[in-house]
Structure 1
């Protein structure tokens, strides 16, 4: 038995196929989904979705959204997504360094829009880099 996984961003269908297992980065922690999982809806955090297909793990960087699991179908609707295998690792590392520097400049500010934006950019850069390192 397998799962059908669909990962959809506003501008593209990132993944649509069969999977043996899916690990979602929910806002409450990582969620493992296997065939026969109960129906559920969960919020997705900025992070890396891992999918096991044909015995190989692949990664997809996600920018938050929602996931629904029902009848061995997993539908992930996110604000943005990219296959780890399509992300350039050197560019991702450079973006992470830039994001760290930007965050450090606003880190002492209390509840500012700039601080929130810098934190989101930092989280995004970390997820993109992590997806490149865990891509098969």
Structure 2
């Protein structure tokens, strides 16, 4: 393995281990990290994070934060994280449908911002479950 990855939430260390590759949802789009990546600090968006280990790809939903990358270490401080195997697929699909409807019907800045946050969270959870079902 070539990368040491540590994902921390305010409550606990969520994931800690070795990996070949990680794909992160950043504020400017998806970012892949391989061995010997240039040092960087990046903001993390709400979205699906993928970690490739010797056993294959692992999919997680993260709810924003920031990441520090350098010297073959990836340290992620995230607001919240969820593993694909802890998410109910039907519940995730229903949440996404409801969040999309709420976003389309939102009026006013505050309501649109709140609806967009809910939609991004529901979309991330659904993407993670979809990735698990493909494997």
Of the candidates 110, 119, 125, which is equivalent to residue 116 of structure 2? 119
**Offset, 1:30:** 1.1
**Offset, 1:55:** 4.4
The count of aligned residue pairs is 133
1:38-86 residue CA offsets vs partner (Å, 9 max, x unmatched): 1110011111111001140111101111000021110111111101122
- The answer to whether the aligner puts 1:131 opposite 2:128 as a matched pair is yes
Structure 1: stretches of 5+ with no match in the other structure: none
Counterpart CA distance in 2 for 1:100 and 1:31 is 25
The TM-score with structure 2 as length reference comes to: 0.92
SS in 1 for 2:121: helix
- The answer to whether the aligner puts 1:53 opposite 2:53 as a matched pair is yes
Moved over 2 A (4+): none
Q: Map 1:59-74 to 2 at 5 A.
A: 59-74=59-74
**Offset, 1:36:** 0.9
The TM-score with structure 1 as length reference comes to: 0.92
